[in-house]
Amino acid sequence: LTVAISKSYGAPEITKDGYKVIKSIKPEDPLALAIANIITQSASQCNDKVGDGTTTCSILTAKVIEEVSKAKAAGADIVCIKEGVLKAKEAVLEALMSMKREVLSEEEIAQVATISANGDKNIGSKIAQCVQEVGKDGVITVEESKGFKELDVEKTDGMQFDRGYLSPYFVTNSEKMLVEFENPYILLTEKKLNIIQPI
């Protein structure tokens, strides 16, 4: 399903992303807004944990809300409804876990990636190539293109920081203006370091 989302400026955004669609819905009715917020929260959690499936998650959440409302209107006890929903959730999760299988081949990865890329086979095959190249423990970072640039894939061995160096005195290769170290010690910290003494 393709949806056009109007924006306050510029052309509308065309998307198949359920999460973007549900985030754009802001009904004026307080009850409808509360329901939309519940669905948005559900889709957001799905997006954070899985990265995909937000459309399915939104539809399922809306259906659960609809069925709970029907049961409540028919006089069912709210505690029993909650217990029923939780039992149903466990049954669904158990069924899904029994159906799952690992996607291993480049062709299967491309199929899954193509679905996640809204049917774009070019993007799907590029993602599959990247996954095969870096392996299941590798890291793939996706960045938005500046302008209308074609899909570009860049492989980096090791780590790369795109923030640049704090001082030109860190440069070790003055011809290329690069900071290159072999087997450096790296300190990772959550704290802000203003002075050297704590280290």
Question: From 2.40.50.100, 1.10.560.10, 3.30.420.40, 3.30.2130.10, which CATH number describes the 3-99 domain?
Answer: 1.10.560.10
Closest by Cα among 72, 62, 12, 66 to 41: 62
Span 37-85, pLDDT tens digits: 999 999 999 988 887 788 889 999 999 999 999 999 999 999 999 999 9
The sign of the CA dihedral 184, 190, 193, 196 is negative
DSSP class of residue 4? Answer: E
Span 137-189, pLDDT tens digits: 888 888 777 766 678 888 877 766 666 677 788 888 888 888 888 888 888 88
Span 82-125, pLDDT tens digits: 999 999 999 999 999 999 988 889 999 999 889 888 788 999 99
- 120, 114 Cβ separation under 8 angstroms: yes
